């Protein structure tokens, strides 16, 4: 993990969106996400605790958004977290990344990211 990973000085998406996923990803169902870090939001879905209502902030997020953050549940995070990538990783724009950053007063990431970077969200 590069220290230049833009997510390490951001964390906006973890403090903006409802981070929901199928309950089967919870540890009690054979998955990895600790049940205690989730809340049920529909018959088949849970959300990361703290993201079920606005203002959102995932219980797993440590640090100050826009300064320095890390995910305390990184190895146990859901597919929703694993699949959400910073804008311009692999050359792909992620408008949702821009939206979350803007909500916290952060500018959008601009391409190209350094080629050696392989940012994974809030590692």
Give me the residues that bind ligand SF4 (CB under 6 A), please: 6-7, 10-14, 19, 48, 58, 60-61, 71, 73, 77, 81, 84, 86, 97, 100-101, 109, 121-122
The values of phi and psi at residue 29, to 5°, are -110, 10
Of the pair 14, 46, the CB lying nearest ligand SF4 is at: 14
Q: How far is the CB of 105 from ligand SF4 (least distance, A)?
A: 12
Cα maximum dimension of the chain: 42
Q: How far is the CB of 110 from ligand SF4 (least distance, A)?
A: 12
Residues 6+ apart with CB under 8 A from 90: none
Q: How far is the CB of 112 from ligand SF4 (least distance, A)?
A: 15
What CA–CA distance (Å, rounded) separates 61 from 122? 8
Q: How far is the CB of 21 from ligand SF4 (least distance, A)?
A: 10
Of the pair 32, 44, the CB lying nearest ligand SF4 is at: 32
Q: What is the DSSP letter of 27?
A: G
Give percent helix, percent strand, percent coil of the chain, each to the nearest 5: 30, 20, 55
SS3 call for 35: helix
């Amino acid at each position: 993990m590069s220290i230049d990973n833009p997510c390490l000085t951001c964390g906006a998406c973890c403090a903006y969106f409802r981070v929901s996923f199928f309950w089967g990803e919870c540890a009690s169902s054979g998955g990895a996400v600790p049940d205690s870090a989730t809340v049920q939001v529909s018959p088949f879905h849970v959300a990361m605790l703290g993201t079920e209502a606005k203002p959102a902030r995932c219980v797993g997020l440590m640090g100050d958004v826009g300064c320095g953050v890390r995910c305390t549940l990184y190895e146990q995070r859901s597919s929703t977290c694993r699949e959400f990538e910073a804008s311009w990783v692999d050359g792909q724009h992620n408008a949702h990344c821009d939206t979350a950053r803007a909500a916290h007063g952060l500018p959008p990431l601009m391409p190209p990211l350094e080629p050696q970077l392989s940012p994974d969200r809030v590692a």
